[in-house]
Amino acid sequence: MEVKAKAKFIRMSPIKMRLVTNLIKKLPVDKALDQLHFINKLAARPVAKLVLSAIANAEHNFELAKDNLFIKEITVGEGPTLKRWMPRAHGRATPIKKRTSHINLVLGEIKASGVKTSKKQNLEAPIKLETQPKKDAAVKIKDSEKPEKEKNLAMQEEGKVIVDPRMEGRGGHAKIEGGSKGFVGKMFRRKSG
């Protein structure tokens, strides 16, 4: 059985937090709390609070014994960085990065206690899948699968006849641009000898 706990947006650099968390990996919970109590680092306090929170989750939600738990995994990730600046000489400003951390903790059991489920009950869905009505299984033919003759008939029935000007032969492009008058007519006129 695994018990998880998270602490997010802790106002301390992940590098400083990892110095503390690496000391308590794979330790039983009691020894880890003793270790955190005597470490002379500021990061020890939020890590100790997180371990106590995970122990409370294990006892309340999964009814596990405190003596039977150890720190299976603890990781520190980087959270968002607050960007500030400090005024310096000659009107300059230098950046300050105030880093934050996210800690993920997983507790495991030393000996399997046999508890596999929590005391929370699973609720049933209000509608069962078997009672839902089935949709018609009619197959529709896509436009790309219809033969060409049927497509042409369908277009004529709607009153839309599409004629491709490229198929009209020489000068068809002049008709698209506005007829044989004006600039286009002069442009595409056949030159005779």
Instruction: Answer yes or no: is 116 within a domain.
Output: no
Which backbone phi and psi does 106 adopt, to 5 degrees? Answer: -125, 125
Residue 131 lies in a domain: no
Domain containing 104 equals 3-109
Q: Total domain count for the chain? A: 2
Least confident of 40-49, 52-61, 116-125, 129-138: 129-138
Q: Does residue 164 lie within any of the structural domains?
A: yes
The interaxial angle of helices 44-61 and 29-38, nearest 10 deg, is 160
Give the CATH number for residue 25: 3.90.470.10
Predicted confidence band of residue 77 (pLDDT cuts 50, 70, 90): very high
Answer yes or no: do 55 and 150 share one domain: no
Helices (H), the chain: 14-21, 29-38, 44-61, 148-157, 172-176, 182-187
- Which of 109, 134, 159 terminates a domain? The answer is 109
Instruction: State whether 182 and 103 are in the same domain.
Output: no
Q: From its phi and psi, is residue 90 left (phi > 0), alpha (psi between -120 and 50) or beta?
A: left
DSSP bridge partners of 4: 106
Comparing 167 with 110, which gets the higher pLDDT?
A: 110
Cβ pair 68, 6 in contact under 8 A: no
Residue 81 forms part of a structural domain? yes
Strands (E), the chain: 3-10, 69-78, 82-87, 93-98, 101-109
All residues at 6 or more sequence positions from 65 whose CB lies less than 8 Å from its CB, including other chains: 59, 113
| 169 falls within a domain | yes
Average pLDDT over residues 120-149: 57
| Domain termination residue (choose one: 109, 132, 157) | 109
For residues 158 and 93, state if they share a domain.
Answer: no
Cα distance between the two ends of the chain = 97
Q: Bigger pLDDT: 9 or 132?
A: 9
Q: Is residue 124 part of a domain?
A: no
Burial of 123 (0-12, 13-18, 19+ CB in 10 A): exposed
Q: Could you tell me if 161 and 87 lie in one domain?
A: no
**153 and 89 within one domain:** no
pTM assigned to the model: 0.59
What distance lies between CA 129 and its chain's CA centroid? Answer: 29
Residue 23 lies in a domain: yes
Q: Are residues 59 and 148 in the same domain?
A: no
pLDDT tens by residue, 36-73: 999 999 999 999 999 999 999 999 999 999 999 999 99
101 & 149 share domain: no
Question: Lowest-pLDDT range, 13-17, 77-81, 106-110, 177-181?
Answer: 177-181
The answer to whether 16 and 65 are in contact (CB under 8 A) is no
pLDDT band of residue 111 (cuts 50, 70, 90) is confident
